Chains A and B, each alone.
Chain A
């Protein structure tokens, strides 16, 4: 129940395309869902986050879609750029379980 399942494991997208990464959770106690971007040898950087009372949140080229009934949320990267090539982690947080991270998606955007 504490797992967050993330897919795909890796993703290759052409420059200008849309990158979509999906996550699913089991525990309804989770109440905060951030996405992190991590470059090799660096710590994760917060990209965008959403709470369950909102179905979508957009910040620049990054959008989170949240489906509370299905217990799923996804990250959409519009107009993907080579500089977006990184590993992306979804996470779920609750006061009891703290942060549970997905397994990560390695995104490569081709120039």
Chain B
């Protein structure tokens, strides 16, 4: 099956600093990538949808200036959490889509962000 690699798998950063998370589709070109946030024992909440070469579409309530998304190529999308605060601590997961409109989505292994 398709492989999506997410890096790093965990990161600890100081409050006020920025953290970049990478999401790569290893064996296919992803026309669409999605970024999710997951709180403990809860479901995945879509943060934004990014299409290669265009601006990301953010879900309601997600601060686009805090969560910067760049989808510069068909195999790489990045999420940068800017000026991180403890409340940004969470599990962030990306997925890359294949097929029309990114129907078949494959997920990365997730990134555990802890802001201290």
Report whether over half of chain A's contact residues are helix, strand or loop; otherwise say mixed. strand
CA distance A15 to B43 in the complex (A): 26
- How extensive is the interface on chain A, given as a class? 20 to 34
Across the interface, do A42 and B110 meet the contact criterion of CB distance under 8 Å?
yes
CA distance A101 to B6 in the complex (A): 20
Report whether over half of chain B's contact residues are helix, strand or loop; otherwise say mixed. strand
Across the interface, do A99 and B46 meet the contact criterion of CB distance under 8 Å?
yes
Question: Does any Cβ of B come within 8 Å of A7's Cβ?
Answer: no
Q: A42-B109, A43-B108 are in contact. Are A104 and B43 (CB under 8 A)?
A: yes
Q: Which B44-85 residues have C-beta < 8 A from chain A?
A: 44, 46, 49
- How extensive is the interface on chain B, given as a class? 20 to 34
Shortest distance from the beta carbon of A96 to any chain B beta carbon, whole Å: 9
Interface string of B78-116 (1 = CB under 8 A from A): 000000000000010101000011111111111010000
CA distance A46 to B104 in the complex (A): 9
Question: Does any Cβ of B come within 8 Å of A83's Cβ?
Answer: no
**Residue among B44, B106, B108, B110 with the most chain A CB within 10 A?**
B44
Shortest distance from the beta carbon of A1 to any chain B beta carbon, whole Å: 15
CA distance A36 to B104 in the complex (A): 12
Interface string of A16-37 (1 = CB under 8 A from B): 0000000000000000101010
Across the interface, do A99 and B105 meet the contact criterion of CB distance under 8 Å?
yes
Partner of A32 from the list B34, B91, B103 (CB cut-off 8 Å) is: B103
CA distance A101 to B95 in the complex (A): 13
Across the interface, do A46 and B106 meet the contact criterion of CB distance under 8 Å?
yes
Chain B residues with a Cβ under 8 A of chain A: 1, 4, 6, 34, 41-44, 46, 49, 91, 93, 95, 100-110, 112
Known: A43-B93, A44-B93. 7 other contacts (CB 8 A): A43-B4, A43-B109, A46-B1, A49-B104, A93-B105, A99-B95, A101-B43
Chain A residues with a Cβ under 8 A of chain B: 32, 34, 36, 41-46, 49, 89, 93, 95, 98-99, 101-104, 106
